[in-house]
Amino acid sequence: MMELPSREVSGVALSHDVQSQPGEIRIDPMTPGDLPLVLAIERRSFPTPWSERAFASELRDNLYADYIVARRGHRLVGYAGMWCILDEAHVTTIAVDPEFRGRGIGNRLLTALEERALRYGCRRMTLEVRVSNHVAQRLYLRHGFRPCGIRRGYYVDNGEDAIIMWRDRLDPPGPVAAEGDDAPPTGRDAGLQSGTEPATGAGAAPGGSERP
């Protein structure tokens, strides 16, 4: 069974990715204590939200999972997650509090995932996005993702297709213009299987048969 590297990599503690001043955005690892606020955003963002049990299992049982939150001051304003196996990272979710969308928080979360994936030894990253979500697609394109295929009927809430996007080379991220784009306002546009909770556990692997 393959395990993720320790959360402290090459002597760099991952407890905080960004040091911030009051009012700025700080990125922290997600903890069980964050789940009530995460679930509040989850339920406002997705028609088929994950349960508290699903998130708790990801944090507790899934050796491949890495979840982060964005805070503005003491307020949790967004979160994101991925699974890292060998040299590949699969983005599982990104969401931003509706009151804080359009402020580049989704961009910050995706950048943080890319940085953390590099520290864990990943060299590629993949995700899915609704064909109708052009805002999210623009964000991913600016981060170097490219469309590589279609998953037919991937989103179970309405049967919408998903575009599979890959970033084939993860380099240390440079500045990415946010243009106010954030995580998708509706639908889980980066997920394992939209409308279902993640298959978790020590032996779980991202996407199962859904993975390209």
In total, the chain counts a number of residues equal to 212
Q: How far apart are the first and last CA of the chain?
A: 21
DSSP reduced 3-state for 59: helix
Spatial CA neighbour of 161 closest among 117, 131, 134 = 131
**Cα(85)–Cα(152) distance, integer angstroms:** 25
**Cα(166)–Cα(147) distance, integer angstroms:** 7
Catalytic status, residue 140: yes
Residue pointed to by tokens 């983005």: 91
For residues 132 and 99, the answer to whether their CB atoms sit within 8 Å is no
- Whether the CA torsion 110, 112, 114, 117 is positive or negative: it is negative
| Set 140, 154, 155, 197: catalytic member | 140
Catalytic status, residue 128: yes
| Set 88, 128, 154, 155: catalytic member | 128
Strand partners, 26: 71
**Cα(191)–Cα(193) distance, integer angstroms:** 6
Residues catalogued as catalytic: 128, 140
